[in-house]
Amino acid sequence: MKFFVDTADIAEIKELQDAGLIDGVTTNPSLVLKANRPIKEIIKDICDVTEGPVSAEVAATDFDGMLREGKILAAIAQNVVIKLPLTLDGLKACKHLTGEGFKTNVTLCFSANQALLAAKAGATYISPFIGRLDDTNINGMELIADIRRIYDNYDFETEILAASIRTANHVREAALLGADVSTVPPATLKTLIKHPLTDKGLESFVADWKKTGQTID
Ligand code: G3P
């Protein structure tokens, strides 16, 4: 599974990139608002610190606007992926932009039928929102399972990018179900590293090593 970090915070991205923990970055208008900087500066700075795919979302909701904005965002760097909402205009823009050789990430996916249409439109990535389905008492992970089965039935190359991930267990379950990517908030990504028994065991090793009186030179 590939890990993308879901943030527009450059410092967070750089820390995780330097640790070798991430394969790409996803952003969206809410994360741009949170970063409180011009989107083109944000995306350029992100692309300067990571070689992996960087999803930048259009703001337009009409076909022509999506094409115009998508090409502006894609011109920032070669690893920009144009993020488009799963609407009629978004699917039309996805088909058009993919046909022109751009990489696309179709987002705000909440049903298997939506994901099927995105794959048929040639999307590079599909972003099903697990957490937001869970919020409505619908099991978001069942959507991941459905999409995986449908994409495998027809050998679609669109990659399942599990999104709206809120917990370490979301990552585990998405991986068990065969999602290609999880895009994870920085804080959640860091929890994947932690386990109390690891901390306890290391504390014990450090204490015992100190008792040996040895050094490794
Ligand atoms: O990539 C989508 C993600 O940013 C949405 O997360 O927690 O707002 O549903 P959330």
Residue 203, pLDDT score = 98
Ligand 1, pocket-test mutation among 9, 30, 160, 164, most atoms within 8 A of CB: 164
210 is catalytic: no
- How deeply is 118 buried, as exposed, middle or buried, from its count of CB atoms within 10 A (0-12, 13-18, 19+)? buried
pLDDT tens, the chain, 217 aa long: 999 999 999 999 999 999 999 999 999 999 999 999 999 999 999 999 999 999 999 999 999 999 999 999 999 999 999 999 999 999 999 999 999 999 999 999 999 999 999 999 999 999 999 999 999 999 999 999 999 999 999 999 999 999 999 999 999 999 999 999 999 999 999 999 999 999 999 999 999 999 999 999 9
CA dist list (Å): 48 to 23, 171, 201, 207: 14, 27, 38, 42
Instruction: State how far the alpha carbon of 33 is from the alpha carbons of 9, 76, 165, in Å.
Output: 11, 19, 19
Closest C-alpha residue for ligand 1 atom 5? 164
Q: What global pTM score does this model have?
A: 0.96
Distance of CA 96 to the CA centre of its chain: 22
Q: Which fold has domain 2-212?
A: TIM Barrel (3.20.20)
C-beta of residue 19 within 8 angstroms of C-beta of residue 52: no
The pLDDT value recorded for residue 117 is 99
Q: Please tell me the distance from the alpha carbon of residue 102 to that of residue 89, in angstroms, as a whole number.
A: 16
Residue length of the chain: 217
Domain ranges for the chain: 2-212
Report which of 80, 59, 81, 55 is spatially closest to residue 68, judged by C-alpha positions.
59
